[in-house]
Amino acid sequence: MKQYVIDQLRPQDYITLKTHLDAEYPQAGLPGIYQIEIDPDLLTDIQREHAACQPCYFAVELNPHALSCELLARSSQKIRCACMGYATDTQRNWLIDRIDAMLSDIGIRI
């Protein structure tokens, strides 16, 4: 799996991140797994065409030592579909920029 990982979190960083993620993003049904919805302007043609599969999102896992962001665009409605796939360069850069900005905004230096 392709991922963007921030590791070696300090205990306080974990608490700060968990508090922020709990407040801002829906959990994906498992503890520590969150969904970051992909900006609709960044969807691929097939992702846009599959309105029944939307919203598309990236899964983010937080554990006490790391924040792991899957670079797989997922459908919130189906487990498998042609609209799911690895992030485009634009989607990948958007997610990394968003995570980096979030960390900066909440005072975590990486």
Q: What is the pLDDT of residue 51?
A: 93
Query: Residue ranges per domain, the chain?
Result: 3-105
Residue type (1 letter), 109:
R
- Render pLDDT for 3-18 as a digit per residue (tens, 0 to 9): 999 999 999 999 999 9
Q: With a cut of 90, say whether residue 79 has pLDDT above it.
A: no
CA-to-CA distance for 37 and 35, rounded, in angstroms?
A: 6
Please choose, from the candidates 70, 79, 82, the residue with its C-alpha nearest in 3D space to the C-alpha of residue 46.
82
Note whether 20 and 106 are within 8 A (CB): yes
Average pLDDT over residues 69-92: 93
Quickly tell me which residue has 């970051």 as its tokens. 36
Q: With a cut of 90, say whether residue 47 has pLDDT above it.
A: yes
Average pLDDT over residues 53-79: 94
